[in-house]
Amino acid sequence: MSHSPPSQVKKHLNGITLLCLAFVICNSWAGIAGSLQLAILAGGPATLVYSIIVAATAYLAIAASMAELAAVYPTAGGQYHIASILAPERWRQGVSYTCGLLALFSWLVIGVSVTSIAAQQLMALVATSLSDFVPQPWHIFFVYQGLALFAIIYNTFLLKKNPWTHNVACLYWWVPFVVMEQGFRSRTIAIVIVSISIVMAMTIIIATQEASSRLAWALARDKGLLFSQYIEHVHPHLEVPIRSVLLIWVLTFICGFLYLASQTDYTCVILGFCLLLALANWWLYAKDHYNGPVIETWESYEAEPASVSTILSQTKKVNEGTA
C-alpha cells in the first residue's frame, strides 16, 4: 500500500553531540550528589557504593539492548516504535500507544519540573541579594513562563544551526566541581553556585523540550495525537517541527497555571493532568486513527507497519549494499 511521503526532520546531531545531549539530560553526577545523604542514612557507605554498581550494571544492560535495536532500525519514535516491533501483533497498537504517551509525558514532566526548580532557584537568588524581598508564587510563575518561553524560542530559531551548544553545556556541567572546591562558607560562592545551577537547568530545559517536541512530532506522524495532521508539519525553512514545539510549550504553559493552583500537591496535579490528556487523546482521536507506528523503508516512501521481519530484511539489504 502506498502512502504520501511523511514529513521529515533532517538530522543535525552527530554522535558526540547526541552523547552530550544525553549527558546533559541525565544529569547523573548531580543526581548522585543530591542523594548521597539519603543513601548514607539508609544503609551507610556500603549501600552507596554497591547500589551504584548494581544500578549501573542493570542500566548498561538496558542501554545495550536499546542501542542494538536502535542501530538495526533507527526511528524518530524510539521506544514506542521498538515496543511495536517487539509486541505481539494483537497487542501492538495498545502497547506502542501506551509506551509513546508515557514517554512523551515523562519528557514533559521532566521539563516542567526542571523549569519550576530553576524558577524557584532564581527567586531564591534574588531574595538572598535583596533582604527585604519575599518571593510570591506569582513571581515564580512569571519566571517559570519566561524560562519556558526562552527555551522554546531557542529550540525553534537557534538550536538547529547551533547544535554545538549541547557540547558546551556538557563541558559546563563540570564547572561546579571547581567552584565547590572553594568551599561553601562564602556568601558570594553560594550565589555563584546557585547561578551556575540555574544556567545548568536552562541547558536541561532546552534539551528536554527538544526531545519531547520530536517525540510529539513522531506520534503525530503515526496519527497518535489529536490534530495530528497539523502537528506533524515541519517548517520548510527552519527545518523544525515548529507546531510540535509549540504544543510542548502550550502544555508547559498550562502546567505553570497548575502551580499557581496548588503548590503543595503540584506533582500529583501534574500527573493527573497528564493522565487526563492521555485518556482524552485516546478517546477522541487515537482509538480510531492510531494503528501503530508506520515506518518508511529505506528504498522509497512505501510504508508498512513495523515488524521484526521488516527490520531483518532491511538490514540484510543494507549489508548487501542493495538498499
Q: Tell me the C-alpha distance between 164 and 18, whole Å.
A: 10
Of 40 and 120, more confident? 120
> Tell me, what DSSP letter sits at residue 295?
E
**pLDDT score at 183:** 52
Of 185 and 298, more confident? 185
Average model confidence (pLDDT) across the chain: 77
Cell of 2: 502506498
Name, in order, each residue with C-beta under 8 angstroms of 30's C-beta and a sequence gap of 6 or more: 173, 200
* Residue position matching grid coordinates 515548529: 242
Average pLDDT over residues 284-313: 59
Q: Tell me the C-alpha distance between 177 and 22, whole Å.
A: 20
Average pLDDT over residues 110-133: 85
| Residue 298 scores a pLDDT above 60 | no
Letter string b/e over residues 218-240, b meaning 16 or more CB atoms within 10 A of that residue's CB = bbbbbbbbbebeebbebeeeeeb
Quick one: CA torsion of 47, 52, 57, 59, rounded to 10 degrees? 120
Q: Which tens digit of pLDDT belongs to each residue from 35-71?
A: 566 666 677 777 777 887 888 899 889 888 888 887 7
* Residue position matching grid coordinates 525553534: 156
- Amino acid (1-letter code) at residue 38: L
* Residue position matching grid coordinates 549489508: 319
**pLDDT score at 149:** 92
pLDDT confidence tier of residue 29, bands split at 50, 70 and 90: low
Distances (CA, A) of 83 to 95, 131, 306: 7, 53, 10
Q: Which tens digit of pLDDT belongs to each residue from 200-231?
A: 888 888 888 888 998 899 899 888 898 888 99
Instruction: Answer for the pair 167, 16: CB distance below 8 angstroms, yes or no.
Output: yes
Quick one: CA torsion of 253, 257, 259, 262, rounded to 10 degrees? -150
> Tell me, what DSSP letter sits at residue 282?
I
> Tell me, what DSSP letter sits at residue 160?
T
**pLDDT score at 8:** 63
pLDDT confidence tier of residue 74, bands split at 50, 70 and 90: confident
**pLDDT score at 3:** 45
Q: Which tens digit of pLDDT belongs to each residue from 136-185?
A: 888 889 999 999 999 999 888 887 777 777 777 777 766 665 665 555 56
72: number of Cβ within 10 Å? 15
Beta strands in 106-151 (DSSP E): none
Rg (C-alpha) for the chain, rounded Å, is 22
**pLDDT score at 248:** 93
Q: Tell me the C-alpha distance between 24 and 317, whole Å.
A: 36
